[in-house]
Structure 1
Amino acid sequence: MANNRVHRLTVLAIMIALDFLLTPLFRIEGMAFMSSVMNIIAATFMTPIYAVAMALIVAIMRILTQAGVASVAPLAIIGSVPGAFLATYFYRLTKKPVMAWFGEFLGTGIIGSLLSAPVMVWFWTMSAHGDDELLAKASQAQSLVFFTPRFVLATLIGGFLAMAVLRGLKYSTHFMNLKKLYALESLKEDGLQ
C-alpha cells in the first residue's frame, strides 16, 4: 500500500515538473494553453485531489520563479485550479476524455476567467503604489469578461492538443497502468474500499 502511495506521488511530481517546464516554453502571450493540456491529461488518470494539487503547486512555483508571472500572481491559481478540479470531476462522471476537456473549458475558460477580473482589479490596485500602468490594468479589468477571450482560447488550444496526446497515450501500457494505480485511490476517496 505504501509502495502505491510513493508511486502516485512520484507520478504527481513528474506531472508537476512537466507542467512547470512546458507551460512557459509553449505559450502565447496571455495564454498558458499547456496548463490546460496538463490538466486534461491529469484528469484522465488522477483523482481530483491529485489534479488540484498538481495545478496549485505548479501555479505557486510559477509565481515564485518566473519573472512575468509574479505581476499576475492570482491568475496562475485562479486560472488553473478550477479547471483541474472540473476536468477530473467530469471525466470521473463519464470516463470520456472530451468531458475532461469540457470540465477544463468550464473551470478555466469560464469560471476562472470570471473570477479573475475582480480579483485582479483588487490585486493590481493594491500593488500599484502609484504605478499608472498597474492602475490602468486595474481599470481595464473591471469588465467582468476582460480575461474570458484569452482563457477560453487557451482552453480550446490546450484541449485540441490534449485530445491528440490522449489519443496516442491510449495505446501505452504505462498509461493504462497509471489509470489502474489511481483507480485504487479513487475508490478510497469515494469510500468504497
Structure 2
Amino acid sequence: MASNRVHRLTILAIMIALDFLLTPLFRIEGMAFMSSVMNIIAGTFMTPLYAVAMAFIVAIMRILTQAGVASVAPLAIIGSVPGAFLATYFYRLTKKPIMSWFGEFLGTGIIGSLVSAPVMVWFWTFSAHGDEEVLSKASQAQSLLFFTPRFVLATLIGGALAMAVLKGLKYSSYFMHLEKLYVAKGIKEGK
C-alpha cells in the first residue's frame, strides 16, 4: 500500500516538473497552452485531488521563479486549478479523453477567465502604487471577457496537442497502469 502511494507521489512530481519546465518553453505571450496539455493528460489518469495539487503547485512555483508571472500571480492559479479539476472530473464521468479536454476548456477557458477579470482588477489596483501602466491594465480588465479570448485559445491549442499525445499514450501499457493506480486509490479513499 505504501509502495502505491510513493508511486503516485512520484508520478505527481514528474507531472509537476514537466508542467513547470514545458510551460515557459512553449508559450505564446499571454497563453500558457502547455499548462492545458498537462491538465488534460493528468485528467485522464489522476484523481481530482492530485490534478488540483499538480496545477496549484506548478502555479506557485511559476509565481516564485518566473519574472513575468509574478506580475499576474492570481492568473497562474485561477487559470489552471479549475481546469485541472474539471478535466479530471469529466474524464471520470465518461472515460473519454475528449471530455478531459472539455473539462479543461470549461474550467480554464470559461470559468477561469471570467473569475480572473475581477480578481486581476483588484490585484493590479492593490499593487499599482501609483504606476499608471498597471492602473491602465486594471481599467482594461474591468470587462469580464478581458481574459477570455487568450484563455479559450490556449485551451484549444493545448487540447489539440494533448489529444495527439494521448493518442500515442493509449498504446503504452505503463500509461494504462497509471490510471488503474490512481483509480484504485480514489475508490478506496472515496475521492
Q: Tell me the TM-score normalised to structure 1 length.
A: 0.98
Q: Which one-letter code corresponds to 2:128 in the other structure?
A: A
> Following TM superposition, where does structure 1 have runs of at least 4 consecutive aligned residues deviating by more than 3 angstroms?
none
Distance, in Å, in 2 between the alignment partners of 1:147 and 1:182 is 33
1:144 match:
144
Deviation readout 1:28-66 (Å, 9 max, x if unpaired): 000000000000000000000000000000000000000
Q: Which residue does 2:158 correspond to in 1?
A: 158
Mapped partners of 1:177, 1:49: distance in 2: 19
Matched letter for residue 69 of structure 1: V
| Equivalence for 1:93 | 93
Please state how far the C-alpha of 1:189 moved relative to its aligned partner: 3.5
**Residue 11 of structure 1 pairs with residue 23 of structure 2:** no
1:142 and 1:189 mapped to 2: Cα distance? Answer: 42
Percent sequence identity over aligned pairs: 86
Question: Where do residues 1-193 of structure 1 align in structure 2 (5 Å cutoff)?
Answer: 1-190=1-190
User: How far did residue 174 of structure 1 move?
Assistant: 1.1
Q: Give the counterpart letter for 1:52 in structure 2.
A: V
- Where structure 2 has 5 or more consecutive residues not aligned to the other structure, the ranges are none
Q: What's the TM-score, normalizing by structure 2?
A: 0.99
Q: 2:188 and 2:51 mapped to 1: Cα distance?
A: 16
CA RMSD of aligned residues (A): 0.7
- Partner amino acid for 2:116? S
- Which segments of 5 or more consecutive residues in structure 1 lack a partner in the other structure? none
Per-residue CA deviations over 1:60-111 (Å, capped at 9, x if unaligned) read: 0000000000000000000000000000000000000000000000000000
Deviations 1:106-148 (A, max 9, x none): 0000000000000000000000000000000000000000000
CA shift for structure 1 position 186: 1.6
CA distance in 2, matches of 1:105, 1:165: 17
**Number of residue equivalences:** 191
